[in-house]
Every structure is written in C-alpha cells, then in structure tokens.
Amino acid sequence: MIDQPARARDFGQSRPHAGENPPFLLTTSSPGRSQRRLAVCVLVVLVGALVVTAPFARIPLENTEALLPAYAAAVFVNEVITASLLLALFSVQRSRAVFALSIGYLFSGVMVIPWALTFPGVFESLGLPDAGLQSTAAIATLRRLGFPIFVLAYALLEDSGSSARVSHGSARSVILAGVAGVVAIACGSTWLIVTSDDALPGFMKDTRNVAAPWQYVPATAVCLYLVGLCVLWIRPRSVLNLWLMVVLCTLLIEIVILSYLSAGLRLSLGWWAGRLYGLLSASLVLLVLLSEKTTLYARLVRSVSAERRAREARLTAMEALSASIAHEVNQPLASMVTNADAGLRWLGRQSPNVDEARAALKRIVDDGHRAAKVIEGITTMFKKGAQERVSVNMNRLIEETLRRCRDEARLGRISVQAELDADLPPVMGSPVQLQQVISNLVANAIDAMTAVAGRKRVICIRSARRNSDAILVSVEDSGTGLDPKYRDRIFEPFFTTRSDGMGMGLMFCQSVIEAHGGRLWVTDNEPHGAIFHFTLPSADDPPSTAGATVR
C-alpha cells in the first residue's frame, strides 16, 4: 500500500462528484478491444448460422410443442434475472435510462408466460380453456414491439444529464412501482386479449400459418430494431451499449428467420431456429452483467485483501518502530536526568565545581542531540539487512515486480508494458529496498488510473543506460497527472491527503534512492499522466554512500 499518493486523484480532483457515475459501471466503462472482437465474432457466428439454416427454414417439425414450456421458462428466467441485475445497477446509478431498460427486460420476460400458456396445443392437457386463435399472436406482438421501444427509451435518456436521474431516497419506491406496473400491465393486457379474441386483428389463418395482417408486425419490429441500432451507434460507446447493439442484431436475425425465411410457419425448423436466437438475445446482457459483477467482486476482494495486508504491515512496522523509539529515547533521557542531577549536586556544594557542572551540561546537550536523531528516524523506514549491498540486475528486478502487479493491473483493465535495455549494467544495492521502490511507484501508477475512463490505461516501465556510470529507470502512466500546487510537497514525510495514509511511501522511495547514490524526480506525461524517474550508479561506479542505511 502506498502511503504517499502522488496523484491528483488523491487530492479529490478525479473522484466522481455527487450525481456523477462511477467510471467502472457497465454503462460508463468503455469496451476494450477484446470486448469488441468478441461482439463481432458473436455476430459472425449468428449470421453464419442464419445462412446454414435458411434453405431448411420451412421444414415442419411435428409434435415439438412439448419443447415450448422449457423454452418459455428459460427466456423468463434469463430476462427476469437480467432485469433484477439492471435494477440493482439502477439503485447505484439512479439513472432513468437504466430503469427503462430494466423495465423492458422485465416486461419481455413476464409477457412470455401468457404467450406460452395461450399457445395452441401446449397446455390443453391441463384443462386450460381455449384462448382463441389470435391471442398468442397478439401477445407476441406486444412483446415483440415493446422491448425495442424500451431500448430506445434507454438510448434517448442515456445522455440527458441530471434530469435523467432519480433522487437518492426514491429509488426503492420507483423500483417497486415499476415492477408492480409491469405485472399489472401484463395481467391487464392478457385479460383483454384473451377475452376479446374476436375483436383482434386476424394475424393467424389457423394454428400454424399467419395471415396477411401479421406482416405489419415484423416490418414494424425491423424498423424499431434499426432505429435502436442507429441511436445506440451515435451515443457514447459503453460496454452495455455495445452488447445491446448485439442483442438488437440478434433480434433482427430472429425476426427475419421467423417471419420471412420460414414464412411465419409455426413449429418449422426456421421457427425453432428463430426461438433459439430469441433465447440467445435474452441471455447476452445477462452473461455480460454476470461477467462484470464477477470481475468487480474479484477486484473488491483483492482490494480488501491488499488493504488488510497493508494495515497489518503498518501496524507491525509501527509496533517495531515504537519499541525501537522507546528503547533508544529512554537511554538518552535517563542519561540526561542523571547528568542533570549530577550538575545540580556540583553547583549545590559550598564551593560549586563549575567545570564538572559544565561537563554535565555538555553531556546533556549531547544526549539531547542523540534523542533528536532518534525522533527524526520516525520519518524513515527501517529494513532488516539494509546495509547489505550486492550486485543487482535491475531488469530482472523490474520483471519480478511486474509479475506480482500484473493481476491487479489486469483487474483494473490496465495494460502493463516494459521497455528494458538488454545491455543495462548492474547496480550495487539492496534488492529488497529497490524492489520496494519499483513496487511503490507501480502501485501509485495503478491507483492514478482507477478513475480514468474513455481512454487507454497504460503503465510503461523503461530502463536505459544514462551515461557510462549510471542507469535510468522510468515509471510512466496515463492517469490523472499531478496537481501543480502539490508537486513540491509529494516527497515530504507524512504529507498525504488520504485518511488512512501515513505519508511515507514516496518519502521512503526517495530515501532509498538517495541512500544508493541516486536521484528520484517526477515530470508530466503528455497528454495525460505522470512519469517518475530515478537514477542509480552502475556497479562499476559505486556510490559514496554505499554503506549508508535507510533507517
């Protein structure tokens, strides 16, 4: 844990203000290259499956009605769980756009129940009354056209600013009202459709074949899907937007194969293939939500573990430091009291011995300086074996440090790069201390990029021979950069803006580098971020302070 943050992030400049969206949410984080490639691959596979299925789309598959309950149950479960996860996201983000999308998934999932219950020949054995010839198609029309309308509402509300947000205290009541409203609308519309079958448009000729009026439904759905795709395309790209576009493309393929390639023939090969596309469209966002929640949970666990380890390390260090200070300060204090008593006795005689009193006072002064040096040691870090200096391969040390930090960087969607000079000469120093310096700088760089959104997050570590007797190591990030007003203070001991910080991280790094005869400084990384540089003498030219310790 770095106790001396050197980034504007820690000074409150890049933290989300009240009402802003955290940058790691599904609706705010930008999709990476791997996400975009996966989305394209999914679409290619779906189009390929469409091409393979098209010649056989009108082949009837008799006696497959028994599969409909399983299909409807799978769609219902997937879409209701998706709606629940989106509502949980809404409770955090307070976005009306997310709320509209979650209601769309909930509506689509709930309406699949009456669609399956009214499907001809599926539940007749249970004694359910005949819902009429047109009821199933009418319910399918509501479900088919309702979902893209909710997606459009999400896309249009997405960038409406604070006016598209729900106040903190009303989120629970909004969720309850939304769920109750969806259930009420689903029940009411189903009742009206089932009881008014004769008044419905003649979508079906019989239980298997569609009539001419049905053609308006897929045509309208296709238009809604295309409009939704266009609106999502021009909006700022987020992970959720990307996969919603894939969902709409999947639904577009579904409606093509259901209503055109199979001519609307129920229980044909194309009809069932379309249902599989519908099941996939109901599952895509769910899979993405579960994946992102798993990643966030893993990141949270790692953060809590790292914080716990850091707290334990700080407590252990402070206990050892306190014991050392108590022991070292106690001795000069006891000596000062003894010398003061002796001086008083020398001066209290009938014939005061000024020379002895002067000597006692001098010893008190010396003990005072000794105690001051012990107190000054509080601002340094003591490492066992700090006096040991061996030949160190800095490239190997950097690679070992990056191996330990790479998992944390990956969870933060941070790319780690290393550009190391293969001809880098070794240095004389303490491997433990130098590795801790690199680890601190890399951890600071990771912290500086946690709030970055909308651009690449990259850490680059470079090593190079600076001249014939020194090496240069740079740790570069694309984070929030340095606040100019704190630039001159970042290496001061105990300077920190974090409530749980000790302000010793960068001070420790500077102490180690200077004790090794080098120098540590920071510059801006254009256009974004900061670069920490340090130099060290090569092993051919050891520093004059080679025997110094970092206390």
The SS3 call for residue 518 is coil
Stretch 406-419: mean pLDDT:
80
Q: What is the mean pLDDT of the chain?
A: 80
Q: What is the pLDDT of residues 137-177, one digit of tens each?
A: 999 999 999 999 999 999 888 755 544 556 555 788 889 99
Q: With 60 as the cut, is the pLDDT of residue 536 above it?
A: yes
| DSSP assignment string, 2-63 | -SS--SGGGGTSSSPPTTPPPTTSTTTSPP-HHHHHHHHHHHHHHHHHHHHHGGGTT-B-TT
Stretch 121-135: mean pLDDT:
72
DSSP code of residue 106: H
Q: Tell me, what's the pLDDT at 503?
A: 55
Stretch 178-182: mean pLDDT:
93
Which residue did the predictor score with more confidence, 453 or 469? 469
Stretch 84-101: mean pLDDT:
88
Q: Tell me, what's the pLDDT at 495?
A: 61
Which residue did the predictor score with more confidence, 536 or 293? 536
| DSSP assignment string, 49-63 | HHHHHGGGTT-B-TT
Q: Tell me, what's the pLDDT at 75?
A: 93
Q: What is the pLDDT of residues 57-81, one digit of tens each?
A: 899 888 888 888 999 999 999 999 9
Q: With 70 as the cut, is the pLDDT of residue 438 above it?
A: yes
CATH 1.10.287 assigned to domain 306-379? The reply is yes
Q: With 90 as the cut, is the pLDDT of residue 534 above it?
A: yes
Which residue did the predictor score with more confidence, 197 or 26? 197
Domain made up of 390-537: CATH architecture: 2-Layer Sandwich (3.30)
Q: Tell me, what's the pLDDT at 546?
A: 39
| Of 192, 533, 511, nearest in space to 378 by CA | 511
When mean pLDDT is compared across 151-155, 303-307, 320-324, 531-535, the lowest value belongs to 320-324
When mean pLDDT is compared across 46-55, 136-145, 338-347, 533-542, the lowest value belongs to 533-542
CA distances to 205, 206, 336 from 211, rounded to whole Å, are: 5, 8, 107
The CA distance from 319 to 193, in Å, is 75
- Other C-beta atoms within 10 Å of 336: how many? 19
Q: Tell me, what's the pLDDT at 321?
A: 55
Stretch 255-259: mean pLDDT:
90
Give percent of the chain above pLDDT 70: 80
The CA distance from 279 to 116, in Å, is 14
Q: Where are the domains of the chain?
A: 65-266, 306-379, 390-537
For the chain, what is the radius of gyration of the CA atoms? 35
Which pairing describes strands 519-524 and 530-537: parallel, antiparallel, or unpaired?
A: antiparallel
The CA distance from 36 to 24, in Å, is 17
Q: What is the pLDDT of residues 41-58, one digit of tens each?
A: 999 999 999 999 899 989
pLDDT confidence of 335, banded at 50, 70, 90? confident
Q: Tell me, what's the pLDDT at 9?
A: 38
* Total residue count of the chain as it appears in this document: 551
Q: Tell me, what's the pLDDT at 110?
A: 94
- Phi-psi map region of 279: left, alpha, beta (phi>0 left; psi -120 to 50 alpha): alpha
Q: Tell me, what's the pLDDT at 375?
A: 61
Q: With 60 as the cut, is the pLDDT of residue 11 above it?
A: no
